[in-house]
Amino acid sequence: MDKKESKIKQGDIFMIPLFLPSCQMDEYTLDYSKYPFHSNDMYAFGRLIEIQAGNVDLIEVFSYTGQIPQSPECIIRSGRMFAPEHIGHPFSRKGRWKVIFSDPHYDMWRDSDYENISFLSPVGHMWKGKETIHITKKKRIELEEAGIPMWIMHSRIDLEVRIRSVLESQGIQMNYEQIVSERQSEYPKPRETDKKLKEMITPFCWMAEQGRYTLSLDAGLLNGECFARNNMLGNGYDWEKVAAAFIEKQEIDAVKKCSFNCEADTFSMTSSSKKVLKEFAVSFHEFVMDTGAFEQFLSQLL
């Protein structure tokens, strides 16, 4: 087995474990760098054909599945399991897919028949071997019926699920659910992010997911009497008025970078900027917890 390089290269062959949990939320947050992969488990194998723009990789998945072999020949000779696909952000030091063989002589045109790799686009063209070919809607439908795939960026988990489905259709018993259940304690656990911040702004809630950050509060948890004395219901919309006025008065850089998603029973703000929303959350929480200053502020809104 060739030594893994720190940076994946075209032609590298990687293993695809078929026994890890299929949780989309955890795919890019879990650290598998120290996970004890079992050599006698069921793996699929793929090859990096091309690194494309936007951290999207074009890969092919081979028909060979089983234990990790000593050389790549049996993998390559097995042919493709299905047509090449695009994968988003598939490789990282902590990722679940690991490179096992490299080929310094790899040529994507020769070894992966690159000129005949094709994808359809819903906007009226076909991509084939680096060329963009304009086609009619009728032609696109014909090509799709003939098996030419649409250009879609998949996740690693999407491909793992698809591979297991193909193998099961071939009558191969995976025992996937049983293995996942038995090994639950082995798998890496999601890292608790922003723990200190969450504790600091209680009872406000903080949530982060894929570049989107949310600050929320159950409307009835805080300062209900302050609202009542100022003839306000204290619902999510009242909290929105207070937060908007607070932003304006404090001249916080959150007007254009945050948006409100409040409902009657919930105050909620979202932003793509963690820094901006975090700074607002800390200052707004400090202000809200000072009931005297909060009530005085409410009286000025009327």
Model confidence at 290: pLDDT above 70: yes
Q: Place 113 in a pLDDT band, splitting at 50, 70 and 90.
A: very high
- State the average pLDDT over residues 269-296: 91
What pLDDT, on the 0 to 100 scale, is given for residue 65? 96
88 neighbors 59 (Cβ within 8 angstroms): no
**C-alpha to C-alpha distance for 243 and 237, rounded to whole angstroms:** 10
- State the average pLDDT over residues 187-212: 84
- State the average pLDDT over residues 145-150: 89
**C-alpha to C-alpha distance for 136 and 55, rounded to whole angstroms:** 30
Higher pLDDT, 95 or 93: 95
231-258: pLDDT as tens digits: 999 999 999 999 999 988 877 666 567 8
36-84: pLDDT as tens digits: 888 889 999 999 999 876 668 999 999 999 999 999 999 999 999 999 9
Model confidence at 158: pLDDT above 60: yes
Model confidence at 12: pLDDT above 70: yes
Model confidence at 187: pLDDT above 60: yes
Residue 163 has phi, psi (to 5 degrees) of -65, -45
What pLDDT, on the 0 to 100 scale, is given for residue 17? 94
Model confidence at 130: pLDDT above 60: yes
What pLDDT, on the 0 to 100 scale, is given for residue 3? 41
The residues, ordered by sequence, that sit 6+ positions from 287 with a Cβ below 8 Å of its Cβ are 246, 293, 294, 297
The 3-state DSSP class for residue 302 equals coil
The residues, ordered by sequence, that sit 6+ positions from 201 with a Cβ below 8 Å of its Cβ are 215, 281, 282, 285
What pLDDT, on the 0 to 100 scale, is given for residue 24? 55
Residue 251 CA: distances (Å) to CA of 138, 169, 202, 273: 56, 60, 24, 17
Model confidence at 168: pLDDT above 60: yes
What pLDDT, on the 0 to 100 scale, is given for residue 4? 41
Of 53, 49, 41, 51, which Cα lies nearest the Cα of 16?
41
What pLDDT, on the 0 to 100 scale, is given for residue 203? 93
In DSSP notation, 163-229 reads: HHHHHHHTT----HHHHHHHTTTTSPPPP--SHHHHHHTTTSEEEEETTEEEEEEETTSS-HHHHHH
- State the average pLDDT over residues 156-160: 90
Q: Place 216 in a pLDDT band, splitting at 50, 70 and 90.
A: very high
The residues, ordered by sequence, that sit 6+ positions from 11 with a Cβ below 8 Å of its Cβ are 47, 48, 102, 103, 104, 105, 106, 108, 111
Q: Number of helices (H) and strands (E), helices first, in the chain?
A: 10, 13
- State the average pLDDT over residues 196-218: 88
Q: Helix H segments across the chain?
A: 73-77, 108-111, 137-145, 156-169, 176-182, 195-200, 224-229, 236-250, 274-289, 291-301
Model confidence at 90: pLDDT above 50: yes
Q: Place 18 in a pLDDT band, splitting at 50, 70 and 90.
A: very high
Higher pLDDT, 55 or 104: 104
Model confidence at 263: pLDDT above 70: yes
Kindly report the pTM of this predicted structure.
0.63
**C-alpha to C-alpha distance for 32 and 98, rounded to whole angstroms:** 10
What pLDDT, on the 0 to 100 scale, is given for residue 5? 40
